[in-house]
Amino acid sequence: MTPHSILAEVAAFADVPVEVVIELDRRMMRLRDILELGVGSIIPMTKTAGDYLDLYVAGASVCRGEVVALEKNAGIRITVFEPRA
């Protein structure tokens, strides 16, 4: 299925908001370090521009993307779209 054929099938629901989750990183931290977090704290991530990650909609992985730098922000460029049936 292509994104366009999926949209045609669910057109009646196209305006329903759904949660989109893009997970940039996971890590283990000591409780002591978590308790020391505050405004301005920085937690280094292992993902950088060019790395790949998954995008989840309503808890299901629907595509894969590449981390890209956008001026002062980061974004995801979708590279593989594979909706799960």
Q: Which residues contact 23 (CB under 8 A, 6 or more apart)?
A: 53, 54, 56
pLDDT tens digit sequence for 11-59: 888 888 988 888 778 889 999 999 999 999 988 888 888 888 888 888 8
| pLDDT above 90 for 82 | no
CA–chain centroid gap for 79, Å, is: 13
Higher pLDDT, 38 or 6: 38
pTM across the whole model: 0.59
**Domains with residue ranges and CATH for the chain:** 18-81 (2.30.330.10)
Beta bridge partners of 78: 65
